Amino acid sequence: MVAPRRHYFDNATGMLELERQYAYRSVFYILNGTGGRFGARGGPEISGELVRSIPGGWEVGMHYNYDTFGDSARFLEQKAEIEGFGAGPVTSGRAHYLRFDPLQSFRLLQSSGIRFDESVGYAEYAGYRCGIAGVFKPLDPATGTVHDVLELPMTFMDRTIEPGGFEAMVKHIRRVGGTLSILYHPGTFHNTEEPELVGGYHAALRYCHGIGAESLLPREVLRVVDGMAPA
């Protein structure tokens, strides 16, 4: 809040440059809209500047603000602001604090143009919350049909990446096939107040690169899945 460039913007661009070194890319989920507790910590100026600095080979998604939960109008306002920064159509996202309603949220996402979501996951544990190591289309129990939204359960948050455990899960997925998701906040990428997390993202990327793991953006996963759909 006091020095966003030092503690947010510079970390975000540092992560981007680190990914570039390993020929990896990522999606930047932008938290904007209402500020304050559980909302965006910075104003639209810094978010807009960041979006405009992200190269075209990466992707910009939506970090659903806490107060858009279940509110279609506010959700669309937040989404429109990110697109207005120059991000283009936003089709991917995840919820702030992983707030999620398994019966209602997918309907809101689908009706709002979100086709790829990473809200289902653990904030304090590493693992597949839905018991599947990959993307899936959730069932709508009201209609018996599937939503046109791909869900990729978040596997690792920055604070859950532990030496040994991370490598073991990656080795297992490499053998049986699957996808894992890594979420790293700019605020924990290089924070001198949390030295135990400094270097964690680099170590994860280095290990994944060493075993030949491929990085896919949400839009690329969508193209693969859409291409598998029956005519």
**pLDDT at residue 100, as a whole number:** 92
* Percent of the chain's residues with pLDDT above 90: 71
How many Å apart are CA 91 and CA 110, to the nearest integer? 10
Q: What is the pTM of this model?
A: 0.93
Tokens of 42: 């910075």
106 — pLDDT class (breaks 50, 70, 90): very high
Amino acid at 231: A
pLDDT digits (tens, 9 = 90+) for 50-67: 999 999 999 999 999 988
Give ∠ CA 221-224-226 in degrees, rounded to 5. Answer: 105
Q: Is a pLDDT exceeding 70 seen at residue 4? A: no
The phi-psi region of residue 133 (left if phi > 0; otherwise alpha if psi is between -120 and 50; otherwise beta) is beta
pLDDT band at 41 (very low <50, low <70, confident <90, very high): confident
* Phi, psi of 168, rounded to the nearest 5 degrees: -65, -40
The pLDDT-based confidence of 231 (bands split at 50, 70, 90) is low
pLDDT digits (tens, 9 = 90+) for 25-35: 999 999 998 87
pLDDT digit string, tens, across residues 174-218: 999 999 899 999 889 988 888 999 999 999 999 999 999 999 999
Query: Between these two residues, 67 and 38, which has the higher pLDDT value?
Result: 67
Is the distance from CB of 15 to CB of 26 less than 8 angstroms?
A: yes
Q: What is the pLDDT of residue 86?
A: 93
DSSP 127: S
Q: pLDDT tens-digit profile of 71-90?
A: 999 999 999 999 999 999 99
Q: Which among 86, 69, 75 has a CA at the least distance from the CA of 33?
A: 75
Topology, domain 4-228: TIM Barrel (3.20.20)
Which pLDDT score is estimated for 210? Answer: 95
- CA angle at residue 27 from 191 to 98, to 5 degrees? 75
